[in-house]
Chains A and B, each alone.
Chain A
Amino acid sequence: MNDTPIRIRVRYSKVGNLRFVGHLDTQRLFERALRRANLPLRYTQGFNKRIRLNLASALPLGFTSSAEVLDFWLDEALDSREIFQKLQEALPAEIRIIDLNPVSNSLPSLQASVLSSDYRIWLPRNLRPEDFQQKLDQLLQAPEILVSRRNKSVDYKPLIFESDLQTDSDSKLVWNLRLSSTPEGNARPDDILNLLEINPAVCLIERVGLNFITEVE
């Protein structure tokens, strides 16, 4: 056994029914898939040994994603293509690995380096673009954007980094949002939809990017 563990970074997408599988469940899903993949996994030390595994940022329940990132550790170096293939085979069809690479152990933890998330929201068809744009402008120009979370009021104003409304080829309204995703300020796009009186359940929301302090290798 190599004393220095090999840190593997995986970018993956999560779609379909798996968007109804929450953060902790996704973590367990990966633990089991990694075991099925029969890789030389590094376990945590101590009484209750667990697979060493870190997910970058919790994806809210109900969202798809094409930009999730996680790290896990191996006891010995293997060819990345081999790991990719074994892990992909062990994963459900609705999780696809985008790429997988060894990264330096000296990089900070994923959770500590996430800055923001990019979301793409397909808005319902019955929405008139000009009405929505007007409501959106009104909201974004307000001095405060208050969202109540567990009886606590959070100001989203400083957490919304970018907002861009477009029409796709299918003449559907597509709204791109960059929101803060740090432990100090974590904004959810469904909260903003609720403020705009749009039921998030009738939208399709996908995380299309995770942005880190240092660029992901």
Chain B
Amino acid sequence: MPNNISLIEKILYSVEKPGRYVGGEHNQIVKDWDSVDLRWCLIFPDIYDLGQANLGLAILYQILNAEESVLAERSFAPWVDMEIELRRHQLPLFSLESKQSLRDFDILGFTLPYESIYTNVLNILDLAGIKVRSEERAENDPLVLGGGQACYNPEPMAEFFDAFVIGEGEEVVLEISQVYKDGKKTGKNKSELLLNLAKIPGVYIPSLYDVSYNPDGTIAMFWPKHLDAPEKITKRIVAVLPPHPTKFLVPNVEIIHDRMSVEIMRGCTRGCRFCHAGMVNRPVRQRSVDDIIPVIEDALDSTGFDEVGLLSLSSSDHTQILDLTRQVHEHFHDCSLAFSLPSLRIESFSLDLMDELKDLKPGGGFTLAPEAATERMRAVINKPLEDEEFYQTITRIFENGWRSIKLYYMIGLPTETMVDVEAILQAAIKIKQVGRQVIGKGVKIHLGVATLIPKPHTPFQWLPVERPEQIQEKLDYLKVGARKAGIKISYNLPDSTLLEAWLSRGDRKLGSVIQTAWENGAKFDAWGERENLQIWRNAFSAHQLDPDFYAYRERDLTETLPWDHINIGVTRRFLQRDYEWSLMGRTRPDCRNVCFSCGILDVFGDQRPAEAIGYWGCP
């Protein structure tokens, strides 16, 4: 029997869900610490329960650990009770695999999928005994690297990170590893290392750039301070989706999305104008059915999961989707597995797909995201759909036996009036009636209402967030009406979307605000958004900044936007034209059929593989 109960284990006895902190999952990779040249810690700055299922993390974990001379371990944000214990015992935050202090790794790779975990990044660095600001860190501190969907506007976090990866990480993490190892061997110091990293396409070193502002607070100039730093940082893509990971870690404690995910397609050609993911993840690349089925088989064998999520931004757009669902049925229908196929478009074709999957294991409700309730509004956001087709689909859903439908809508859309908002309620009521007619008894309708936050790199990037008074008025109308009609409704209060608006649309000046907010107790902002909001407002005023400048200001088409130096492959000209079309109510059809020259082929066209090797959605 072991006699030494280490301090970590002692602490674990007194925290909630200690299994979050111990690792040891099936398929975990633990390498000998001293046998490698380079040590990464991949960090998801939210609790284990929310981060462990992240597919990006699984992909990078496998890719890095496949290198003999590299190890990659994991760490997550400790929950509040664990943080108290760590601080009380002056224990630095550690990795799950070897329980090494984060400070002892070479590279800390943070994934930033959303903005509400920015303060957690600072907290994690602090818990590891590392200074939060890049410039204050010492020569032998780990390299602090960021990546993920939120990094397409890295500026608000620029002062805390040594480097960012813009775009897809599969290839660039290995290039970063190589440059780091070379630098270590030749005794390069950190500033030399950063200069070498800046030469890797897709790597952004914020400290190599400077920014000046106009008197009104907008950006006057943004420029590289060094010759080796590119003027614009073009995102990285992988031309062909690399082999999919199959040896997923199998959590020992229950987590959110406790299943395995298989990415069937990356990117989307639909061009919904509010959709950040649809703009930044171009071009569309998909895996063939012949690739996907063995991945599912292998992953099931190596994990024992009983649920599979087939991930993409728009499942019904996969060119072999019907074949895929049929083959999934054929191969797995006697294994008692549940399959989910999210992001189905509202068309009868989606129902054929659901029919195939339903046989495997009946799911809960049917989820649809019309986003807007009038044909006019749907044209504005470029998610066109005729009412007639919409109700035909709804009728078929009920005819196929579903009794519960969840509908996602947005409010605060450009040119929106109360007519458009009233239409949301009317649609929900009508769907309920249709359900009663078809099924003969009551059906469950659940309305999910979100507020538009115009995101960087989308055609709506110049728009303001709608004012809270107006949002509140629209929400009140929907709340009262839904209650009367016996329809369940969920929504975000205007306050709770503000933080996302500030941080996603912010500039480099927000670094100080984020730091002050964190110093005053803001963390886990997605959990305590309303509670933390006053801390954030105070932090803005402490730095003489106006939060409304970031949320409620319509940006001039000539303004230099904080993310203009990040090149996602889609041109600003394209986005602007799309914005103008939006205001005219003019739609832009699926660009698989006709190219609108968004710019992606100009940047990446030379990487495009032959069709047989990797499918791209571009014509």
Q: Is the CB of B5 within 8 A of A47?
A: no
CB neighbours of A214 from chain B (8 A)? none
Residues of B within 8 A of A122 (CB): 1, 3
Residues of A within 8 A of B253 (CB): 21-22, 25
Interface residues on B, range: 20 to 34
* Distance A200 CA – B12 CA, assembled complex (angstroms): 12
Q: How far is the CA of A20 from the CA of B5 in the complex (A)?
A: 14
Q: Are A35 and B22 in contact (CB under 8 A)?
A: no
A81 — which chain B residues lie within 8 A by C-beta?
none
Tell me which residues from 7 to 63 in chain A have a Cβ below 8 Å from any Cβ of chain B: 16-18, 20-22, 24-25, 28-29, 31-36, 38, 43, 47-49, 61-62
Q: B26 in the interface, Cβ–Cβ < 8 Å? A: yes
Interface string of A115-151 (1 = CB under 8 A from B): 0000000100000000000000000000000000000
Q: Tell me if A200 and B13 are in contact (CB < 8 A).
A: yes
- Give 1 or 0 for each of B259-270: 1 = CB within 8 Å of chain A CB: 000000000000
Q: Is B23 an interface residue when CB atoms closer than 8 A count as contact?
A: yes
B304 in contact with A201 (CB, 8 Å): no
The CA-CA distance from A36 to B11 in the complex, in Å, is 33
Q: From B1, B25, B300, give the contact of A204 (CB < 8 A).
A: B1
**A36 touching B304 in the complex, CB below 8 Å, given contacts A201-B13, A201-B14, A204-B2:** yes
Q: Which chain A residues border B21 with CB–CB below 8 Å? A: 20
Once the chains are docked, how many angstroms separate the CA of A125 from the CA of B307?
47
Instruction: Answer whether residue B559 sits at the interface, using C-beta atoms and an 8 A cutoff.
Output: no
A32 to B248, CA, bound (A): 13
A43: chain B residues at CB < 8 Å are 336
Cα A201 to Cα B392 in complex, Å, equals: 61
Q: Which single member of A21, A33, A202 contacts B19 (CB below 8 Å)?
A: A21
Contact among B3, B18, B23, B301 with A172 in the assembled complex (CB-CB below 8 Å): B3
Chain B 18-49 interface mask (CB, 8 Å, partner A; 1/0):
11011111100000000000000000000000
- Would B254 and A32 count as touching, CB distance under 8 A? no
Q: How far is the CB of B401 from chain A (nearest CB, A)?
A: 13
Q: Is B10 an interface residue (CB 8 A)?
A: yes
Q: Quick check: A24 and B254 within 8 Å, CB to CB?
A: yes
A92 at the interface (CB under 8 A from B): yes
Residues of B within 8 A of A28 (CB): 254
Interface assignment of B212: CB less than 8 Å from any CB of chain A: no
- Specify which chain B residues have a CB less than 8 angstroms from the CB of A33 in the assembled complex: 26, 304
Do residues B302 and A36 form an inter-chain contact, with CB atoms below 8 A?
Answer: yes
Is B306 close to A, CB under 8 A?
yes
Residues of chain B within 8 A (CB-CB) of A204 are 1-2, 5
Structural contact, A29 and B252, CB atoms closer than 8 A: yes
Instruction: Give the CA-CA distance A24 to B25 in the complex, in Å.
Output: 16
Q: Which of A20, A43, A61 has the most CB of B within 10 A?
A: A20
Give the distance to chain B from A162, nearest Cβ to Cβ, in Å: 21
Q: A20-B22, A25-B253, A204-B2 are in contact. Are A35 and B12 (CB under 8 A)?
A: no
Q: Is B377 an interface residue (CB 8 A)?
A: no
B134 proximal to A (CB < 8 A): no
**Chain A: minimal CB distance from B266 (Å):** 28
B227 to chain A, nearest CB (A): 50
Question: What is the CA–CA distance of A25 and B3 in the complex, to the nearest angstrom?
Answer: 27
Check B304 against A20 for contact (C-beta < 8 Å).
Answer: no
Interface membership of B100, Cβ < 8 A: no
CA distance A35 to B299 in the complex (A): 12
Q: With CB as the reference atom, state the residue of chain A lying closest to B302.
A: A36
A99: interface (CB < 8 Å): no
Cα distance A94–B24 in the bound complex, in angstroms: 9
Report the contact-size class of chain A (Cβ under 8 Å from the partner): 20 to 34
Known: A21-B19, A21-B253, A90-B304. A32 touches B1 (CB 8 A): no
Q: Say how far A20's CB is from chain B's closest CB, in angstroms.
A: 4
Query: How many angstroms between the C-alpha atoms of A20 and B23 in the bound complex?
Result: 10
Neighbour of A17 across the interface among B10, B22, B301, B304, CB < 8 A: B22
A20 with B18: CB separation less than 8 A: yes
Q: A62-B18, A202-B5, A204-B5 are in contact. Are A36 and B303 (CB under 8 A)?
A: yes
Q: How far is the CB of A16 from chain B (nearest CB, A)?
A: 7
Whether a CB of chain B sits under 8 angstroms from the CB of A82 is no
CB distance from B530 to the nearest CB of A (A): 30
Residue of B nearest to A48 (CB): B361
**A25: which B residues are within 8 A, CB to CB?**
19, 252-254
B250 near A: Cβ within 8 Å? yes
Q: Cβ of B5: which chain A residues have Cβ within 8 Å of it?
A: 202, 204
Is B442 in contact with chain A by the CB < 8 A criterion?
no
- With A62-B12, A200-B13 as given contacts, are A32 and B22 in contact (CB-CB < 8 Å)? no
Supposing A25-B254, A35-B306 touch, asked if A20 and B10 sit within 8 A by C-beta, the answer is: no
- The distance in angstroms between the C-alpha atoms of A48 and B346, with both chains bound, is 28
B528 on the A face (CB < 8 A): no
- Chain B, 576-594, contact with A by CB distance < 8 Å: what is the 0/1 string? 0000000000000000000
Residue of A nearest to B250 (CB): A32
Tell me whether A164 is interfacial, beta carbon within 8 Å: no
Which residues of B lie under 8 Å from residue A61 when comparing CB positions?
A: 18
> Does residue A3 face the partner (Cβ distance < 8 Å to B)?
no
B19 and A20 contact, CB distance less than 8 A = yes
The answer to the question of A217 belonging to the interface, with a C-beta cut-off of 8 Å to chain B, is no
A197 close to chain B: CB less than 8 A? no
Beyond A28-B254, A38-B301, A201-B10, whether A18 also contacts B24 by CB under 8 A is yes
Chain A CB within 8 A of B391 CB = no
In angstroms, Cα B13 to Cα A30, docked, is 23
Q: A61-B18, A202-B10, A206-B1 are in contact. List 20 more A-B contacts (CB 8 A).
A: A16-B24, A17-B19, A17-B22, A18-B24, A18-B252, A20-B12, A20-B19, A20-B22, A21-B19, A21-B252, A25-B252, A25-B253, A33-B304, A36-B26, A36-B302, A36-B303, A47-B362, A49-B336, A170-B3, A204-B2
A-B contact pairs, 30 of them (CB 8 A): A16-B24, A17-B19, A18-B252, A20-B21, A20-B22, A21-B19, A22-B19, A25-B252, A28-B254, A29-B252, A31-B306, A32-B26, A33-B304, A35-B304, A35-B305, A36-B301, A36-B303, A38-B301, A47-B362, A62-B18, A92-B24, A92-B25, A92-B252, A94-B24, A172-B3, A201-B10, A201-B11, A201-B13, A202-B5, A204-B1
- Residues of chain B whose beta carbon lies under 8 Å from any beta carbon of chain A: 1-3, 5, 10-14, 18-19, 21-26, 250, 252-254, 300-306, 336, 361-362
Query: Ordered nearest first, which 8 A-B pairs have the shortest CB separation?
Result: A32-B304, A201-B13, A35-B304, A17-B22, A20-B18, A36-B304, A17-B24, A21-B252
Give A residues with C-beta under 8 Å from B: 16-18, 20-22, 24-25, 28-29, 31-36, 38, 43, 47-49, 61-62, 90, 92, 94, 122, 170, 172, 200-202, 204, 206
